[in-house]
A = this chain, B = another copy of it.
């Protein structure tokens, strides 16, 4: 039955063409201008077709947000080469921040917007986020086993570390950093992360 297989290939192909169009529009024009109609326009199909491949708009953006996590995970892989857990933790932060600064819209989709989460069957099952946070948890756990962060609790400390980096980049992405004296947003984040690293180094 080669035909059924070819049909399956066609379906997969159109699905990925839809995602290509959605991704391009999202990165070029932003979330609001990426409408179901504009996606359909770009692939030269009628709007209705999108609903045979995705339940709704949220599901399309959920798929895109998974791509973002795949890329972030890829970047995190270099960390396996860093054996010192404290160095690994610091490098992890730099990678996280680097991804956010280089892909602000993707970061926004992954960690700020509601859309991708609304496509989740069960809200407490955000696997993509869980993977990233687990990486952080493991690294901080290794730091503690190596004698750092005495008198701290793993979970709270992990969440606090995540909060520092998320706070910095999300304040930037959502335009709240004009209150800072430093005019260059990237510089602000680098400096503030530097201050955080300095603190970590003394723990």
- Residues in A lying within 8 Å of B, measured CB to CB: 111-114, 117, 123-126, 129-130, 133, 151-153, 155-157, 159-160, 162-168, 170-171, 174-182, 188, 191-196, 198-199, 203
Q: Are A195 and B130 in contact (CB under 8 A)?
A: no
Q: Shortest 7 CB-CB distances between A and B: which pairs? A: A167-B167, A163-B167, A156-B191, A160-B192, A163-B168, A166-B167, A159-B192
Given A153-B195, A160-B164: 16 more A-B contacts, CB < 8 Å: A111-B171, A111-B176, A112-B170, A113-B174, A129-B178, A155-B188, A156-B194, A157-B192, A160-B196, A163-B164, A163-B165, A163-B167, A163-B171, A164-B164, A164-B167, A165-B167
Alpha-carbon distance A39/B112, docked complex (angstroms) = 27
Q: Which residues of B contact A182 (CB under 8 A)?
A: 155
Residue from A125, A129, A178 with most neighbouring chain B CB atoms (10 Å): A178
Known: A160-B164, A167-B166, A175-B114. A155 touches B129 (CB 8 A): no
What residue of chain B has the Cβ atom nearest to residue A166's Cβ?
B167
A–B complex contacts, Cβ < 8 Å, 7 sampled: A112-B174, A124-B178, A133-B179, A133-B180, A152-B195, A156-B188, A163-B168
Alpha-carbon distance A165/B163, docked complex (angstroms) = 7
- In-complex Cβ contact of A152 among B167, B179, B198 (8 A): B198
- In-complex Cβ contact of A155 among B152, B178, B191 (8 A): B191
Alpha-carbon distance A6/B195, docked complex (angstroms) = 56
Q: Which residues of B contact A167 (CB under 8 A)?
A: 162-168, 170
Alpha-carbon distance A129/B153, docked complex (angstroms) = 32
Q: Are B176 and A126 in contact (CB under 8 A)?
A: yes
